[in-house]
Amino acid sequence: DRQTLVAVLQFLRRSNLRESEEILRREARLLGDDLGSAALSPAGAGVLGAPGGDADSAGGGEALLSRVTAAAAIAIGGSAATLLLYANAFAVGGGGIVVEDQPDVSAVLSAYNQQGDPTLYEEYYSGLKHFIECSLDCHRAELSQLFYPLFVHMYLELVYNQHESEAKSFFERFHGDQECYYQDDLRVLSSLTKKEHMKGNETMLDFRTSKFVLRISRDSYQLLKRHLQEKQNNQIWNIVQEHLYIDIFDGMPRSKQQIDAMVGSLAGEAKREANKAKVFFGLLKEPEFDVPLDDEDEEGENEEGKPKKKKPKKDSVGSKSKKQDPNAPPQNRIPLPELKDSDKLDKVMNMKEAARRVRLGPECLPSICFYTFLNAYQGLTAVDITDDSSMIVGGFADSTVRVWSVTPKKLRSVKTAADLSLIDKESDDVLERIMDEKTASELKILYGHSGPVYGTSFSPDRNYLLSCSEDGTVRLWSLQTFTCLVGYKGHNYPVWDTQFSPYGYYFVSGGHDRVAR
């Protein structure tokens, strides 16, 4: 737009890049008089004409100047339209163009747009706060959504411009007005007290690279816009236009309960487009393979002595005449390996057992088996049981993972490499010989975590175990050797839970960093 062109042209003029300036002016059809009048106009002052608006006073002018110079050089070698494209990318701080260190460029330009008295930040914010609190009840809840994103961006601008005392005063005065569900983010924000702290900080990057989404009714939005125009509050209006995505809808303003139910923390509410993508929440279709029926089910006589009809010798699992689930994901959406023969055998046995299972009803209720942890001393924090009820695992506050066998069969581990080399690999019972009977026990204790264990999960094939802990790691254990195979360290904070997928090839974890992996 015109303000962006004026800002870039003034950079080029101060840098004595006359040739680049002339190319851009001819392309944009701006004369020298137009440039001077634009710089003196209120719109121009909002960009670069504020008092103290020297190119070097923002602390980042040299970095921005080098980027503009590079863009000008590219434009000279290519076309003036290319320079205009780069100029828009610098001014907006995004717009679909990938720029190196993009959050830093956006911060520099936002500081350039607001180079007035830093003490006025408190006046601007308190003025808007007073206006919203005095507005009608039907608009107050929606307009109050502006408090948090405006507070964060104004604080970050003060810190980036090295107005540290003003930033501290601004934070101490207004941080208590924010909603309770923002307190964790505010604690992180309070640690950003210097410009150097902002580099690589996740909170700052989230706010600089994505727009905070607000849903506001048209009446509330018009009320806000009219107030900012009457007060000529360009400080807040620029933040609203640059860093907020306002989704305006027609209808009655929403209540605070409705807003709190949809709030989305760092990114605000979800955009409408986010819910348009089809979600396949159905189950994957089971692979088809043949299941031989039992001999006793094939033929026989009923109570009256009449012969039963013979059934086919094979039945195809997964080929039942069920209606196709429209919510089931495509078979190739989640890559899965081919089933092994042992997996197919397990599925065949499960299908046969399910076919012989008695139908449950009021007269035929299922049996229930309870297990009690004795002398846990309130240290038990997680528990899981295998599908066949053969093993139970418990996670404890002392960072240990304990696995019990709840059947007469004890837990055995594989022998050492030296002992395995002596075993005849061609023997029929080789799978039994590789297990060490000497170390078999009803309990195995797994050590490796350095904090309380908050979640455990057995794999469907009962060969692996997952555990997650306060130490921010997820560990994969082998139930053949009872040792840790892998330590996953993707989370930055405690991991609350982890779970294997029904197929066993994937697992999911979620933690205090509000990230699911």
Residue 185 parent element (H or E): helix 183-190
Q: Whole-structure pTM over 0.75, yes or no?
A: no
φ, ψ for residue 7 (rounded to 5)?
-60, -45
Question: Residue 191: what pLDDT?
Answer: 84
Question: Residue 291: what pLDDT?
Answer: 60
> Residue 101 CB: number of other CB atoms within 10 A?
12
Question: Residue 3: what pLDDT?
Answer: 64
| Per-residue model confidence as pLDDT tens for the chain (517 residues) | 566 777 777 777 777 777 777 777 776 665 444 444 444 343 333 333 333 333 333 334 333 444 444 444 444 343 333 344 344 444 443 333 333 344 443 443 343 345 557 778 888 888 989 999 999 988 998 999 898 888 888 888 888 887 888 888 889 899 888 888 888 888 888 888 887 777 767 767 777 777 888 889 999 999 999 988 888 778 888 888 888 888 899 989 998 888 888 877 667 787 777 777 788 888 777 766 666 655 554 444 454 555 555 455 455 444 444 567 788 888 777 788 887 777 778 778 877 877 777 788 888 888 777 878 888 877 999 999 998 889 999 999 999 999 999 999 999 989 888 888 888 888 878 888 888 888 899 999 999 999 999 999 999 889 999 999 999 999 999 999 999 999 999 898 999 999 999 888 899 999 998 889 9
Residue with tokens 């747009």: 113
Pull the structure tokens for residue 12: 């080029």
Question: Residue 50: what pLDDT?
Answer: 35
Which of 180, 58, 165 lies closest to 122, judged by CA? 165
Question: Residue 53: what pLDDT?
Answer: 38
Q: What's the rounded Cα separation, in Å, for the pair 121 and 444?
A: 61
Question: Residue 258: what pLDDT?
Answer: 87
Domains identified in the chain and CATH numbers: 2-113 (no CATH), 120-275 (1.25.40.500), 289-353 (no CATH), 380-418+430-511 (2.130.10.10)
Burial class (CB in 10 A: 0-12, 13-18, 19+), 34: middle
Question: Residue 306: what pLDDT?
Answer: 53
Question: Residue 395: what pLDDT?
Answer: 95
Question: Residue 14: what pLDDT?
Answer: 73
Question: Residue 298: what pLDDT?
Answer: 47
Exposure letters 299-337 (e unless 16+ CB within 10 A, then b): eeeeeeeeeeeeeeeeeebeeeeeeeeeeebeeeeeeee
Q: What's the rounded Cα separation, in Å, for the pair 4 and 95?
A: 13
Determine if residue 40 is left, alpha or beta; phi over 0 gives left, psi from -120 to 50 gives alpha, anything else beta: alpha
HSE, side-chain direction, 13 A CA sphere, residue 99: 27
